[in-house]
Copies of this chain bind each other. A is one copy, B any other.
């Protein structure tokens, strides 16, 4: 917008401002926020003031800034993620009660799995997936389950650009994982994300058999109930799909 020497618009700035908050929820200093967002202090001050006027941010005395309740409210009142979450929650709780381990719900966004919800319990094994957190497709069972049930075209595009920063996997390896997941109807990764944990995920399919979400669990490697576990996840996934179609 007007006169930005950097040539970005007000929208850009607002997005940068909101994105500047790290996962840890605590408030940021105004000047800290300014540097994280890459904005001049004065500009940050003015924008924060405006946003705070709408309750999208909150300023504590002393210049600390944190995301506001109203922002949370607005976004969580109407969001595609919310509809999905609402449809899935009862089924996720059912799964959790039976297994007493982590349950998660993810969608595909870009070339990553975005986790929409996670239920965990004291005593569950470690679970890297955070709510609103992301994981690369090829090292999350959720990501594999999602990508294995996409258009051929999208899979090609994904594999075409695939590079593993750590160089452990080639595109061909991922292709094999996807093929296996598509064939079996579920994806699994043993000890990949964390040694000692086992991720298993099934797709939630729409009418065209495309994955709109994935439902997964993280269990200890010793878990023996695979025979019962996968059907339970698949049944739940079907229930979620039905809920989504009805709404």
Q: How many of these chains are in the complex?
A: 2
Instruction: Select one of B2, B10, B73 contacting A132, CB under 8 A.
Output: B73
A72 shortest CB reach to chain B, Å: 4
Are B89 and A82 touching (Cβ within 8 A)? no
Interface digits, A1-42 against B, CB 8 Å rule (1 contact, 0 not)?
A: 110000001111011001101111100000000000000000
Q: Is the CB of B89 within 8 A of A79?
A: no
A245 and B21 CA atoms in complex are apart in Å by 21
Interface range on chain A: under 10, 10 to 19, 20 to 34, or 35 or more? 35 or more
A77 within 8 A of B: yes
Using a CB-CB cutoff of 8 Å, which residues 62-91 of chain A contact chain B? 66-67, 69-83, 86, 89-90
Which positions in A face B, CB cutoff 8 Å?
A: 1-2, 9-12, 14-15, 18-19, 21-25, 47, 50-51, 53-54, 56, 58, 66-67, 69-83, 86, 89-90, 93, 96-97, 107, 109, 114, 119-122, 131-134
Q: In the complex, given contacts A77-B133, A82-B131, what are 16 additional A-B residue pairs having Cβ atoms less than 8 angstroms apart? A: A15-B54, A15-B56, A18-B74, A18-B75, A21-B78, A23-B77, A24-B78, A69-B80, A71-B75, A72-B80, A72-B82, A73-B109, A73-B114, A75-B75, A75-B132, A93-B119
